[in-house]
Amino acid sequence: MKKPHSLDEAGLQRALAALRRVVREKGLRASSARERVALAALRYGGHFTVEDLVRRSKDERLEETHASTVYRTLPLLLEAGLLEEIRVHRDEGTFYERAFEREHHDHLVCVGCGAVVEFHSEEIEEVQREVAVSFGFVLTGHSHELRGTCTACRERGRESRA
C-alpha cells in the first residue's frame, strides 16, 4: 500500500542540517537533546503524539528527554519542515508525522473505528491555490480532514465510536 519508506542515514543528516539552519538563524544554540528529539521523530513511522515522542526520545540511548523539552522543540521541528501537525479526529489530541522528504497528503478518518487513510488530490490542491489567489492570499499551508464511515463499520452498524 503506502510505505512511508523511512529516511536513510543520509536523509537523517539532511534533516538535521535543516534543523540546524533554523536554529542558527534564530540565534539559538546547538543541543543534543534537541537532536535526540528530532531523530526520534524522524524515525517514527506513522502518526504519533507528543507522549509517544517523549517515550521514544528516552529509550533511544538511555538519555532521558523531558516532556517540556519535547514541547519546546516541536515548534522548531515544524518550522524546519521536519514534521507536520495533524488533527486526526475531533477528539484525540494533536498528532504529528514526518514531513521531511515525504510527499504531502491529507487524511480520511473513520468515525466508527478510527481508521485513518491518507489521500492526495492534486485537483484539490490546485483549487485551493485558485481560491487563495482569488482573495489575494498567498498560501502557506492548509489542513484538510475528511470524516466518514468505512465499509466495515457500515456493515457493523457502527456510526460513531463507542
Q: Which residue's CB is nearer to its own copies, number 32 or number 94?
A: 94
Separation CA 152–CA 62 (nearest Å): 42
Cβ of residue 113: shortest distance to its own copies, in angstroms? 11
Q: Is 132 in the site for its own copies (CB under 8 A)?
A: yes
User: Does 140 participate in binding its own copies (rule CB under 8 A)?
Assistant: yes
Q: Which of 130, 118, 24 is nearest to 79 (CA)?
A: 24
From candidates 12, 69, 89, 118, binder to DNA by CB under 7 A: 69
Closest CA relative to residue 12, chosen from 45, 35, 32, 30: 35
Residue 51 is which amino acid?
E
Tell which one of 90, 103, 157, 162 touches its own copies (CB under 8 A). 90
Which residue of 12, 33, 50, 117 would you call a contact of its own copies, by CB under 8 A? 117
> In whole angstroms, how close is the CB of 69 to its own copies at the nearest point?
21
Q: How are beta strands 116-119 and 106-110 bridged, if at all? A: antiparallel
